[in-house]
Copies of this chain bind each other. A is one copy, B any other.
Amino acid sequence: MKFAVTGLAAVLAFTVAVPALAKPKPAPVVAAPVPAEVQAAVLRDDALKTNVAYDFLSELTTRFGPRPAGSDSEKRAAEWAAAHLKELGFQNVHIETFPLHVWARRGPETIAITGEFAQPLVGVSLGGTTAGEVEAEAVMFDTWQEFLDSKADVTGKIVVVLQPMAKASNGSGYGRMSGTVRSKGPMEAQKRGAVGFVMRSLSTDGNRFAHAGASAWSDGKGIPAMAISAPDASQLSRIEALQKAGKGGPVSIHMKTTGQFLGLKTSQNVVADLVGSEKPEETIVVGGHLDSWDLGTGAIDDGAGIAITMAAAKVMIDHNLKPKRTIRVVFWGSEEVSQPAGSPTSETGGGAFREAHKAELSNYVAHAESDFGADRINNFALSATDDTGFVTQLGNLLYPLGIYQDTKATPHGGEDSGAMNGFVPAFDLNQDGYRYFDTHHTANDTLDRIDPQQMSQNVAAYTATLWLMANTDVRFKLPPKDEE
């Protein structure tokens, strides 16, 4: 979709009169500069009318499907994206390559109950785990803590953890389970002699999708480890109840996993700038990650994030506007991975970017990442600055979009941009993530999950925020040390 008002006409409007705010009156003879917040409001409202983000996301996900970290698909998508960014008018567009230990599924995986309750289950192996085939008795634990506390002998058995994940708009149920049961579960089960590990997917709904996700690096020496769908976990809970009622014997499970590490390969970040007109070295970094899990087409995670941040800058290009500071859009590679601890690849896309740009970081003004789907942004967080008026101004600008300031939150950016925490201040535009973990890391993460209208609200919020931040002298504060 093209703009109703062309770039040139819009610039004229900016230096003559702002139709949305001013009543009809004769144009002044001498053009007066328009304040940044007024320009930002116009950019914001125009962003709501565009489909740039959705169209980009549609073509990306359609053309390349899944874009697993380090895959040929991720690489081709990066090359296509770079060409696309150049065509859209971005500057300094380039690809930065970095090393990566690549993990991939090599064929169909299966998991099934065998014996008395024989039936197939829906499951996927966890990233970083091992290809293998095993059949053994299942030992079920209702929670991760119950497993940790248990003295049960699981030698030669399959450990099954059935703990469900809490559902919340801010996604707060996820972190404490991805870092424990999913990350540490397979290794902990192996340490206790188990031959397999099964967990309930980190899912917030009841559809029968298994949710992939990274687990701690096992270097191909681990045990088969899978996440089953929430309905399958409920099924195992019901079987456990039948057992306890004396209506069934032990449950055995057969697993066949095909995921494994393929060795040291490469991935890449795509970098594109709107170079600042007055202070080009002062840079605001925004973006998302280009890679995705291999089951879906990575629409909400995280094609949406790169589409939104790219489109926000594109609104400025379409108005022929140059920010005073540089706005740098990064499509990070390989966010969805686990890597060997301590190796040069232990931090991936985001870490590689930080290392490659270490010398510039002191000039980086702020960073943010969109990596939580494309539903409405509900609130924002920005480190308090000496100029508290700036945050008020930003709040006024975002309020018409239904976005308020979360005064209690410390901004931290995303998984990739957050690699710069401690060096570069962060800001957050937080989306409503209530349905995000319904779909996250599943085959169901496709374009169909995107609501174009909510996505445009995201673009509007980013374009307004970026324009204001890129046209001020205000500096933003790093969070206090203990908050990092």
Residues of A with Cβ closer than 8 Å to B? 58-59, 61-66, 73, 108, 110, 113, 117-120, 122, 206-209, 230-231, 234-235, 238-239, 242, 248, 296-297, 442-444, 446-448
Contact = CB atoms under 8 A, between A and B. Distances in A.
B62 A120 contact: no
Contacts of A65: 113, 117-120, 235
B242 A208 contact: no
Contact of A231 (B59, B209, B234, B446): B446
Contact of A208 (B58, B117, B238, B446): B446
A282 to B, nearest CB: 38
Contacts of A444: 207-208, 231
Given A64-B119, A117-B63, A122-B443, A448 B297 contact: no
A108 B111 CA distance: 11
Contact of A235 (B209, B248, B297): B297
Contacts of A117: 62-65
Contact of A238 (B58, B66, B442): B58
Q: How often does this chain occur in the complex, in copies?
A: 2
A447 B232 CA distance: 10
Nearest to A122: B443
A435 to B, nearest CB: 12
B297 A119 contact: yes
B446 A242 contact: no
A231 B118 contact: no
A225 B63 CA distance: 24
A446 B238 CA distance: 13
Q: A208, A231, A235, A447 — which one has the most chain B CB atoms within 10 A of its CB? A: A208
6 smallest beta-carbon distances between A and B, as pairs: A65-B119, A108-B108, A206-B448, A62-B238, A208-B444, A231-B446
B119 A66 contact: yes
A113 B61 CA distance: 13
A443 B206 CA distance: 12
Given A63-B117, A118-B73, A447 B239 contact: no
Most chain B CB atoms below 10 A, which of A117, A444, A446: A446
7 contacts: A61-B235, A63-B248, A208-B209, A208-B442, A208-B448, A231-B444, A231-B448
Chain A interface helix/strand/loop/mixed = mixed
A3 B476 CA distance: 67
A62 B446 contact: no
Contacts of A118: 65, 73
A435 B26 CA distance: 59
Given A118-B73, A448-B234, A242 B206 contact: no
A444 B442 CA distance: 14
A108 B61 CA distance: 25
A115 to B, nearest CB: 12
Nearest to A239: B62
Nearest to A238: B62
B120 A66 contact: yes
Most buried by B among A209, A230, A443: A443
A297 to B, nearest CB: 7
Contacts of A62: 117, 235, 238-239, 242
Contacts of A209: 208
Contacts of A58: 238
Contacts of A443: 122, 208
A82 B66 CA distance: 48
A31 B207 CA distance: 54
A444 B209 CA distance: 8
Nearest to A446: B231
B242 A59 contact: yes
A230 to B, nearest CB: 8
